Amino acid sequence: MKVVRYNEDGAPIGENGAKLKSFIGSATHYHVPITYMSWKSVPAELKDKIFTTVEAAFVIDPRSRKNILQTAVPPEKYSFIEQNHWEEFVRSRLSETFQEKRQLQQDRRSKNKYNHRISRKGYANLKEEMV
């Protein structure tokens, strides 16, 4: 098993920290269907499955559960989406409610002055590199 190191803020760092983040994404892709509108609507049982899967592959700080589940988000792409899930997903994205939400976020994004340029390593690993 891979041992994950943490910085003073509790963020995973180092090579295994980056692997952990990728693994969380894969576990989320596997366990969470694309039909969920937000992370809040994902049932606790699925979130527990993701955390249990991570615990089986990595030696992590037990206090990092919240951080791990904040890293996990519903996936953007699947190579194996079931047809009924895809149809429900498309229907949800074409709804008026979603279009209003999309427009609001698009407006917010247009106000950003600086694009994200830090790569996958995140601020915790950048800080570790600079020290």
Q: Which residue has the tokens 């919240």?
A: 66
How buried is residue 122: exposed, middle or buried, by Cβ count under 10 Å (0-12/13-18/19+)?
Answer: middle
pLDDT tens digits, 18-52? 999 999 988 998 898 888 878 888 999 999 999 99
Checking if the pLDDT of 83 tops 80, the result is yes
Q: Which residue has the tokens 């988000």?
A: 73
Whether the model clears a pTM of 0.85, i.e. scores above it, the answer is: no
Alpha-carbon torsion, ordered 80, 82, 83, 87, to 10 deg: -100
Q: Which residue has the tokens 């709804």?
A: 95
The contacts of residue 75 (CB under 8 Å, 6+ apart) are 25, 28, 29, 32, 34
Structural domain spans, the chain: 2-130
Distance CA 96, CA 22 (A): 33
Identify the sign of the CA torsion 102, 78, 75, 37: positive
Percent with pLDDT over 70 in the chain? 95
DSSP state of 4: P
If you average pLDDT over every residue of the chain, what do you get?
Answer: 87
Distance CA 75, CA 98 (A): 17
Decide: 40 and 96 in contact? Cβ < 8 Å: no
